[in-house]
Amino acid sequence: MRDMNEVVGTHDVVLVTLDTLRFDVAQELLDAGETPNLAAVLPGGRWERRHTPGSFTYAAHTAMLAGFLPTPAAPGPHPRLFAAAFPGSETTAPHTWTFDAADLPTGLARAGYHTVCVGGVGFFSKSTALGSALPSLFAESHWERSFGVTDPSSLDHQIARVGTSISALDAEKRLFLLLNVSALHQPNWFYLDGATRESGDTRASHAAALRYVDARLPRLLAALRRPTLVIICSDHGTAYGEDGHVGHRIGHEVVWTVPYGEFVL
């Protein structure tokens, strides 16, 4: 296991959440060679199969930003990378970096990190009290309509914002960045060649959105500093008609099972 006590303080930490990305679609595209940029950086060129801590964006991100990243799907125990100091925690191990705060951004800020959130879906929009809750955990947060689910170039705009924030950062200051990628989330029909609004969102357009994200990954990684620990994962999946279900916030396998990867630049 990676010793996070050697990472924190020496590396930037970047958490990229591919909002609503399903494990099965992610793995199928990887196996077919359709996401070559992800294949190039994921350990062993494979996604790890994990279970989300929440079935929709707010629940999953609240948990992840408290140190509860998606859990390996195989039987445990599964020690965590980050954990709030908590008596009796069975998932805190010697390699776990522990923090005396209720959330990871605050813990890392107390360790000298500058914390940045570049939001995507509506829970990061800052247009309502609820949409401000997650961004408020960070010293610096950004959201624009062009970062959201209705813009087919959302990730391009988000990467530009990431680059601006990083270029303004003091070279000696470590960074914790959350990038919530909205492109996979509905609506995503516009990523599929020949689709129309009337076609609606489908598993195929979900896959097309992932191909769009993969094509932009080199630009994102080029914007990051070295050394950086990158954690890239889905916050939850989504249903496209399986057993009659559409969407998420349900306990279905396609919602609960997510892809996960971590690597160091």
Q: Which residues of the chain have pLDDT under 50?
A: none
Supply the mean pLDDT for the chain: 96
Q: Find out whether 180 and 19 touch, Cβ atoms under 8 Å.
A: yes
According to the model, what pLDDT value does residue 88 have? 84
Q: Quote the CA–CA distance of 61 and 58 in Å, as a whole number.
A: 5
Please confirm whether the linkage preceding 77 is cis (ω < 30° from 0): yes
According to the model, what pLDDT value does residue 244 have? 87
Contacts of 56 (CB under 8 A, 6+ apart): 236, 248, 249
Claim: this prediction has a pTM higher than 0.95: yes
- Report which DSSP code applies to 136: G
Q: Quote the CA–CA distance of 74 and 51 in Å, as a whole number.
A: 9
According to the model, what pLDDT value does residue 4 have? 97
Enclosing H/E stretch for 71: strand 71-72
According to the model, what pLDDT value does residue 252 have? 92
According to the model, what pLDDT value does residue 113 have? 98
The pLDDT tens digits for 175-200 are: 999 999 999 999 999 999 999 999 99
According to the model, what pLDDT value does residue 103 have? 98
According to the model, what pLDDT value does residue 243 have? 86
